[in-house]
Amino acid sequence: MRKKYINKNYLNQEKNKTIDTINKIIKKNIINLIPYKSARLLYKDNNNNNLIALNANECPIISCFSLNKKIFNKYPEPQPKELITLYSKYVNLNIKNILVTRGADEGIDLVMRTFCNQENDKILFCPPTYDMYRVTAQILDVKYITINSNKNWELNLNKIKNNLNNVKIIYICNPNNPTGNYLNKNIIIELLELTKNTSIIVIDEAYIDFCINQTLTYFINKYHNLIILRTLSKAFALAGLRCGFILANEYIINILLKVIAPYPISGPSIDIAIQALNSKNLVIMQNNVKTIINNKKWLIKHLNNCRCVKYIFNSSTNFILVKFYNSDFIFKKLNKKKIIVRNQNNQKNLNNCLRITIGTIFECKKLFFELQKLS
């Protein structure tokens, strides 16, 4: 027994020495990093039978595609011309204004690596919002400033104006995640004017296909400091593809091309993305968006009759933010029923809030049924 104890103790000591040695080599900002918690990491139950996953803002409608190209021994095009041409038609921009990325997340990282020096430069974003702006800044060891949104979730322009010293990039999620609202265009235009000689304004339009009339793509060639991020993950129902786009003026696109990885998107992803952007499948995507919006209207109408619900925020996306009287209780009870939503209780000004992805009508009815029982 003593021998086993000594061996275990020795192994622990050696393990600790290894950790101490590696920690001396690792960048300090990475050791202290609080990583982004993806929906898949937050729910680790291996038994996914009958799971209703409403925590990742995925499209509930399956896209049915099959690969046309099945030989993979050659590298893909670094920036696939056919894909860019099709997307240029969809967003009504010149192909010179478009860069293909591994989802919008690579866009967030790429812009920061291109424009920010570690020593003095800062980024700015406005909580509650998408947490990858913070995480990416911490990974790259770039300083960041947070300016909380107003109570109506609009940008606090006056505070932003007073905190622009050394700010190279301002990240704005529009429509915003997790609140679901789109922002006042006039405030964004004022910010673009204010920063045109000092900062890049990055508009993250991951959810814009659910309220396409709110896009700012037509300002790309008017404001040289505007960058827009897009993705096929949400409305196009292709989250597993990891295909995104950066939209900007030609000069910025050419600068980003110097920094981006040699082959950012795989051959199979290019193949499926091209299919998704043909005219027939664009109509299917738009019809799916209408279905999701109708499901959202149904769910909001019925949740307003649940006594456990305190308030439902307006949403222009494929999710809703709901304030409960006791969100932790609701969250745990739904988990037990294998209905997984996203807890926002730790976000700034979102106490007792849960973010709920709009699922199929069956999933919406199941959620309402369980919440009605909890009421």
Give percent of the chain with pLDDT exceeding 90.
83
pLDDT tens track for 96-148: 999 999 999 999 999 999 999 989 999 999 999 999 999 999 999 999 999 99
Within 13 Å, how many C-alpha atoms sit on residue 45's CB side? Answer: 14
Residues of the chain with pLDDT under 50: 1
pLDDT tens track for 165-184: 999 999 999 999 999 999 99
What pLDDT is attached to residue 280? 97
- What are the φ and ψ backbone dihedral angles of 135, each rounded to 5 degrees? -60, -45
Q: Which two tokens stand for residue 370?
A: 């369980």
For residue 221, what are the CA distances in angstroms to 201, 227, 251? 14, 10, 11
Q: Smallest Cα–Cα separation from 356: which of 118, 70, 54?
A: 54
Domains and their CATH numbers in the chain:
39-60+281-374 (3.90.1150.10), 81-278 (3.40.640.10)
For residue 350, what are the CA distances in angstroms to 151, 206, 242? 11, 21, 29
Residues 185 and 191: their CA atoms lie apart, in Å, by 10
Residues 253 and 221: their CA atoms lie apart, in Å, by 12
Residues 215 and 62: their CA atoms lie apart, in Å, by 25
What pLDDT is attached to residue 1? 47
